[in-house]
Structure formats: structure tokens, C-alpha cells
Amino acid sequence: MLIFQSFGAPELLIVLAIVVVLFGASRIGDIGKGLGRGIREFRREIKDGQAEDHTDEDVREPVTKDETKR
């Protein structure tokens, strides 16, 4: 899209200044902390889920030819 190609450093600084005026510097810090905490928790849950998948594969019994015909 042609609109997004025209964004440069000055435009981004103006948007950042508007955000700081609307929310305040301390509120932006709180939002950043919450976002970082959420990302860390998401990554941890993904890692735990992958670990569970690997342990489930080890516990499963092998499927025989007779069971696949059902």
C-alpha cells in the first residue's frame, strides 16, 4: 500500500508524541511492563505445551495393523 511507504522517522515521532500526551509517560511504562509480562507468560505456556506433547508421544502404545482397519 502506498500510504505505509510514506511513514518515516518524523511521522513516527509525531505519533509517539501524541501517544505520550494522551496516556502520559508513566502509563506507557505500565503498558510496556504488562505487555512484556504477557509475552513471557505466553512463551512459557508454549514451551510447557511442547514438553507435554513430547511426553505424550513417549507414553502412547504402538498401533498394530489390526487396530488401523477399524
pLDDT tens, 9-19? Answer: 888 899 989 98
Statement: residue 27 has pLDDT above 90:
no
What is the model's pLDDT at position 34?
A: 93
Statement: residue 57 has pLDDT above 90:
no
Judge contact between 38 and 47, C-beta under 8 A: no
Helix axes 25-59, 9-23, angle to 10 degrees: 100
Give the chain's mean pLDDT: 79
Statement: residue 45 has pLDDT above 70:
yes
Nearest-angstrom CA–CA distance, 8 and 4: 9
- How does residue 64 score in pLDDT terms, banded at 50, 70 and 90? low
Nearest-angstrom CA–CA distance, 20 and 8: 19
Of how many residues is the chain composed? 70
